[in-house]
Structure 1
Amino acid sequence: MVTTEQLYDKFLECTGVSTDTRRITPDCLFVALKGDKFDGNQFAEQALAQRARYALVDDPAVAERDQERCLLVADGLTALQDLARHHRQTFNFPVIGLTGSNGKTTTKELIAAVLSKKYRTYATVGNLNNHIGVPLTLLSLNEQCELAVVEMGANHQKEIELLCSIAQPTHGLITNVGKAHLEGFGGIEGVRKGKGELYDYLIQNGKTVFINSRDKTLMAMYRERLKDTRSESTVAEVIFYPAAEAADEPIELLQESPVVIYRDSTKQEVTTHLPGRYNFENMLAALAIGDYFGVSVEEANRAIADYNPTNNRSQVITKGTNTVLLDAYNANPSSMAAAIRQFAATPAKRKVVILGDMYELGEESEAEHAALGKLIADSKFDLVILAGKDMHYALGYLPKAYYFPDKFSLHNWIMDNPMTDTSFLIKGSRGMSLETVLPFI
């Protein structure tokens, strides 16, 4: 079996890393991973035939077939993580790690946009933020990079701890703590503890922590950890945004609907492409990090103003006389409530919500969907359309809502009932893929 050091020497001969035979590039390293319903070892020969330089495998029988190009390890996933950790230790530029229940990807994109005004910045591509995605992100870094922004996602405790041990961030922030992945985390306190593992790593290793001083939960989490580590010699650098002692917010939110407009510290007004106070909080994080790394106010504002999402997150789309807020990449009780309140406050002639199930809530699913129904009822939209098996729990508060257990029925109904001069909010968990509704509006 090859050691991590031997594997790294082979990695340096390669042009990249792939775990998918549909994405093999010449001279890449193919990593065979196992899942509940697949075994990547079975595709090693195919990857090599498609011009992968090496195949990392953990099946001795597969390795025997091509001993020169098949690199045998005890476990493919562990080897991938160890390889990424080893590669991470070969460079010394700043690595910004971020996690949170909501807004991770948008905040990551905003931070990268701001930092790119001054530095060669590499950021997590798409949603590669888990125990496989973070290693792949790190293995994409090279000597041309001056800064890296690494998004870290988790659906159970100890996962952020693992990702920190691999990415070894020098700086970091938590966007927020909310009701996401309750089933895996074991409730909201489990979420708090799991996300807090990033603070644990940064504080214990004397790194830099960015904290939203207006978020009571994040401030409490920081104080708890500061109290626990006060006697230790390693104390993290802490940057509060806005400054904890500031009486007034230097960056003022002027408008949150249909898009955020803010006034910066130089009294310039900045119009963005993103809606909602929650996205304003994401912007504040990016501006604070940009300021810390010496990006000018003007350049940071330009980056924020120019950022236009194309990833089913907070997209404002015009369809004829209709306006659609497409936020269909994911949903949990916290993000759903924020989006609904935001949409309810948005001026519009006619407002319609199309909402899908929130996944991974476990035993809390019935109660959380019912609570969502009450919030929707209180918001008094012109039309409510619900889809998914658990959304029926919301119907107790919504006797006039249209409910569809599947998307096929939903699509047909929308086609048969065209609407004009209407503003729509479309939101649901990733498994619902509610962006498929867009062509029918």
Structure 2
Amino acid sequence: MNLNSANIESILNSKWNGNPTGETIDTISIDSRSLQNNEKTLFFALVGINNDAHIYLKDLITKGVHNFVVTHIPDGLEGKANFLVVKNTLEALQQIAAHYRSLFSFPIIGVTGSNGKTIVKEWLNFLLSPDFNVIRSPKSYNSQVGVPLSVLAINEQHNLGIFEAGISTVSEMEQLQKIIQPTIGILTNIGSAHDEGFASLEEKIKEKMLLFNHSEVVIYQKNNKVEQFISPKTKAISWSFADTTATVFISKKEHTHENTFVEYNYKGNVSTLEIPFVDDASVENVISCLLVLLYLEYDAKTIQNRIELLYPIEMRLKVKKGINNCSLIDDSYSSDFQSLKIALDFLENQKQHQKKTVVLSDIFQSGLSNEVLYSKVAELIISNNISRFIGIGETISTLKTKLPNAVFYKDTNTFLVHVEQLNFENETILIKGARSFQFEEIVAALAEKTHETVLEINLNAISHNFNFFKSKLKPTTKMMAMVKAFGYGSGGFEIAKLLEHHKVDYLGVAFADEGISLKTAGIKLPIMVLNPENTSFPAIIQHQLEPEIYSLKGLNAFLKIAEQKKLKDFPIHIKLDTGMHRLGFEANTIDDLIVTLKGNQTVKVKSILSHLATSDDLQHKDFVAYQINLFEKLSSQLMNKLQITPIRHILNTSGISNFPQAQYDMVRLGIGLYGVSNDSEEQKYLENVGTLKSIISQIRTIQLGESVGYGRRFMANRESRIATIPIGYADGIARSWGNGVGFVTIKNKKAPILGSVCMDMLMVDVTEIECKEGDSVVIFGESPTVTYMAEQLKTIPYEILTSISQRVKRVFYRE
């Protein structure tokens, strides 16, 4: 990056408050938690709906950062660092990026659309990298923040850029266009993603097409609605399966189990292309890449040779259980400098052990000399406090002099020969390698061996849902996130770690052992135990958990232990029964509660709470009003008589949305965090968190009159293909989901469940689905959803989620 403090002052038309003395800026940062922040960092204090980074500046100054772009200088910090004061810090970040982009004149490919942006970007990088030094967006950095951060990674050695742009509503693309300034534009598939942000399909297309207003050329699937928004100055290159007037007409399309063959006509020349995919989405994305290659005048033979080597793109950082109590972060298909920085932040965010290990391959296409590149890598490894570093490849051995305690291997096979000698145990391991190194073999060697059924947890979706509900709160309202029942079946520690990263105020668990497990694993957030048993009180005290107290018997038992241990002001939470009639002090016990607590210094009432019985059903809103009024009365009585000002909270997930007037000091977010709402309109704004997946173990053909499963509950009325899936009621799939009630999804098609669900298996009808053994199967996720399953089984989503057995491996990932 070729910017210094004087440049930035000029670009933003703002004077420094302080004395930056022309310092070189090495890193632009927006994340106060990143261990990569240092004295060469320029930190932008972004202000969002749910967060204001200005509150973290004091800590950043302590860590050595002394250059900031802010909307105001926080009290007490003037003179302690250098500040550029601007009206809007996000717009300032975008201004810097747009200026920086203008310093480079090489071709830039801009990609937008509803689906396929990241895949097209990654495939183009693969296809063009033999001829260009490519800079591209890391992962799916395509937002108002991600795009500027991507562009700011350009350096003088790059000669081609590929950046993706994602928008969710109007008035967003104009800024991204100024930053990317694409010379070549690609519009991928236009689907339903973010439909809620646009009045119509036409409005969505119009907004996306703004990216290409000043491009030399735009590539798209032929569509009249698209063409009306193409600038007259921009060359249009279209493709189509049906319209012969398209620039590239696909005249023939055939496929086998693994490949698709197309014939395409370009400038009167007909060529055949073998595509190593069969699904429609991948084929369309390959065709977008094909048109770029044609525009850049690649010959048919070169195009075929490169496209036949394309591979499925893994766009996610996955967290998996490893051998010997290790946890693995699988980023085994990517090795570039920008994504390394992201992966290291993710490692810190998700570390489950104090010991952090990085396995890294040679890094390609950095645009830097090996000396500069690996010096920067060494700085990252050191700043992120990596305990053990393992380098694999010929050039990464440059780090030997910079990381004296590191270990190096010439290739992946050599590493695998020595893997047992490395004694991996009780550590979090980031595995990050360029595709040619086949690091998936390292993941396989270090992963815990379990069966092929997994519950995938989307950490991005958790973050999205958390922020969605947080946006409904007043700035002063605290948030408790419920991670009881093993995180509603999704995994307790990993989600708790993410919530800690988001600075949630409290975690809630049902029983002491859940809280002890989190504290032992290193979670530092305060944890409230909602259903503590008296026998667990010593352990609660030992592990600094905070018990909910709901009866005089429980209170006296806790006070006795607290006095024995000579505690002072140990936090407790008083539960009031306002109508749920499950747990809590009732109105006629409040006086006794006050007498017991008055003057007692061993405990401190940290909060007073109650629970709504019908917050999800507005037909009972009068009863909710009754509960809220009673809570106000009883809690106020306690506060007045005891002269305390504790946190008060009564709202659960549905209450947050339906009764915002009762936010009090804190709310408790439960099932909504995991992407489930009782309100169908609200559900549209939540993202699916958990996807339960398995595979096809075997496919057989049965004849008319033959049966499937125990009790012959299914009898074939035709010749049928039957697939067996290795998941059953021991994994948490209800037996009542069988016999044609439920279905699984294979190749985006419904496969009805036939006969009874067995303990470890279920069988489905795949007569109308072209599939094979080993293909992926979705048990629930986007389709069927847990809400749909619950409706069919006449239960609630909570039961579906929490029933998934612990023998089902959880895989956590971030897009």
TM-score by shorter chain over 0.5: yes
How do residues 364-403 of structure 1 correspond to structure 2 at under 5 angstroms? 379-380=751-752, 382=763, 385-386=779-780, 391=785, 394-395=788-789, 399=792
Relative to structure 1, the CA distance from residue 248 to residue 172 in structure 2 (aligned partners, 3 Å threshold; closer, same or farther) is closer
Name the SS for the 2:74 alignment partner: helix
Q: 2:122 aligns with which of 109, 112, 125?
A: 109
- CA offset digits 1:327-354 (Å, max 9, x no partner): 978899xxx9xxxxxx99x989626699
Name the SS for the 2:208 alignment partner: helix
Q: Would you say the 8 A contact 2:177–2:210 is kept in 1?
A: no
| Structure 2 residue 163 is the aligned partner of structure 1 residue 150 | yes
Which deviates the most, 167-176 or 260-269?
260-269
Name the SS for the 1:225 alignment partner: coil
Q: 2:151 aligns with which of 121, 132, 138?
A: 138
Q: Would you say the 8 A contact 2:30–2:46 is kept in 1?
A: yes
- CA offset digits 1:242-264 (Å, max 9, x no partner): 68457963785533x5x545468
1:194 deviates by: 2.4
Name the SS for the 1:149 alignment partner: strand
Relative to structure 1, the CA distance from residue 131 to residue 245 in structure 2 (aligned partners, 3 Å threshold; closer, same or farther) is closer
Name the SS for the 1:150 alignment partner: strand
Residue in 2 that maps onto 1:18 = 29
Q: Would you say the 8 A contact 1:135–1:166 is kept in 2?
A: yes
- CA offset digits 1:389-441 (Å, max 9, x no partner): 99356459x958998447852532874xx9xxxxxxxxxxxxxxx8549xxxx
| Residue identity matched to 1:157 | V
CA distance in 1, matches of 2:93, 2:149: 8
Q: Would you say the 8 A contact 2:260–2:275 is kept in 1?
A: yes
| Structure 2 residue 295 is the aligned partner of structure 1 residue 292 | yes
CA distance in 2, matches of 1:19, 1:85: 17
Q: Would you say the 8 A contact 1:18–1:28 is kept in 2?
A: yes
1:152 deviates by: 0.9
- Pairwise CA RMSD of aligned residues? 4.8
- CA offset digits 1:352-388 (Å, max 9, x no partner): 699xxxxxxxxxxxxxxxxx99x98854364573359
Q: Would you say the 8 A contact 2:107–2:184 is kept in 1?
A: yes
Q: 1:4 aligns with which of 11, 20, 29?
A: 11
Name the SS for the 1:137 alignment partner: helix
Relative to structure 1, the CA distance from residue 302 to residue 324 in structure 2 (aligned partners, 3 Å threshold; closer, same or farther) is farther
Relative to structure 1, the CA distance from residue 31 to residue 253 in structure 2 (aligned partners, 3 Å threshold; closer, same or farther) is farther
| Structure 2 residue 233 is the aligned partner of structure 1 residue 235 | yes
Q: Would you say the 8 A contact 2:259–2:274 is kept in 1?
A: no
Higher relative contact order (CA 8 A, sep 6+): 1
Q: Would you say the 8 A contact 1:19–1:32 is kept in 2?
A: yes
CA distance in 2, matches of 1:312, 1:171: 27
CA distance in 2, matches of 1:193, 1:279: 26
Relative to structure 1, the CA distance from residue 101 to residue 325 in structure 2 (aligned partners, 3 Å threshold; closer, same or farther) is farther
Residue in 2 that maps onto 1:311 = 315
Query: TM-score of the superposition, structure 1-length normalised?
Result: 0.68
1:133 deviates by: 0.7
How do residues 163-178 of structure 1 correspond to structure 2 at under 5 angstroms? 163-178=176-191
Name the SS for the 1:350 alignment partner: strand
1:322 deviates by: 4.8
1:117 deviates by: 2.0
Q: 2:203 aligns with which of 177, 193, 198?
A: 193
1:130 deviates by: 0.7
| Residue identity matched to 2:11 | T
How do residues 19-418 of structure 1 correspond to structure 2 at under 5 angstroms? 19-23=30-34, 24-26=36-38, 27-52=40-65, 54-61=67-74, 65-66=78-79, 69-186=82-199, 189=200, 191-202=201-212, 204-205=213-214, 207-213=216-222, 219-225=223-229, 234-241=232-239, 244-245=245-246, 249=250, 252-255=253-256, 257=257, 259-262=258-261, 269=274, 271=276, 276-295=279-298, 297=300, 300-301=303-304, 303-304=306-307, 305-312=309-316, 322=452, 350=723, 379-380=751-752, 382=763, 385-386=779-780, 391=785, 394-395=788-789, 399=792, 404-405=797-798, 408-409=801-802, 411-412=804-805, 415=808
CA distance in 2, matches of 1:113, 1:245: 26
Q: Would you say the 8 A contact 1:57–1:70 is kept in 2?
A: yes
| Residue identity matched to 1:20 | D
Relative to structure 1, the CA distance from residue 310 to residue 75 in structure 2 (aligned partners, 3 Å threshold; closer, same or farther) is same
Name the SS for the 1:411 alignment partner: coil
Which deviates the most, 4-13 or 63-72?
4-13
Name the SS for the 2:126 alignment partner: helix
CA distance in 2, matches of 1:389, 1:82: 42
| Residue identity matched to 1:285 | S
CA distance in 2, matches of 1:401, 1:33: 45
> Going by fraction, where is helix more abundant, 1 or 2?
1
- CA offset digits 1:89-120 (Å, max 9, x no partner): 11111121111111111111111211212111
Alignment gaps of 5+ in structure 2: 1-7, 265-270, 318-332, 334-439, 462-674, 676-683, 689-694, 700-720, 728-743, 754-762, 765-777
Q: Would you say the 8 A contact 2:250–2:263 is kept in 1?
A: no
1:80 deviates by: 0.5
Relative to structure 1, the CA distance from residue 298 to residue 14 in structure 2 (aligned partners, 3 Å threshold; closer, same or farther) is farther
CA distance in 2, matches of 1:2, 1:246: 47
1:32 deviates by: 1.0
Name the SS for the 1:33 alignment partner: coil
Name the SS for the 2:24 alignment partner: coil
- CA offset digits 1:177-228 (Å, max 9, x no partner): 1111232234xx2x542243232452x4353100123xxxxx12233235xx
Percent identity over the alignment is 22
Q: Would you say the 8 A contact 1:114–1:299 is kept in 2?
A: no
Query: TM-score of the superposition, structure 2-length normalised?
Result: 0.39
CA distance in 1, matches of 2:228, 2:214: 16
Relative to structure 1, the CA distance from residue 12 to residue 270 in structure 2 (aligned partners, 3 Å threshold; closer, same or farther) is farther
Q: Would you say the 8 A contact 1:99–1:152 is kept in 2?
A: yes
Q: Which has the higher Rg, Structure 1 or Structure 2? A: 2
Q: Would you say the 8 A contact 1:387–1:406 is kept in 2?
A: no
Residue in 2 that maps onto 1:422 = none
Name the SS for the 1:21 alignment partner: coil
Q: Would you say the 8 A contact 1:209–1:236 is kept in 2?
A: yes
Relative to structure 1, the CA distance from residue 436 to residue 166 in structure 2 (aligned partners, 3 Å threshold; closer, same or farther) is closer
Relative to structure 1, the CA distance from residue 245 to residue 72 in structure 2 (aligned partners, 3 Å threshold; closer, same or farther) is closer
What is the count of residue pairs matched by the alignment?
373
Name the SS for the 1:81 alignment partner: helix
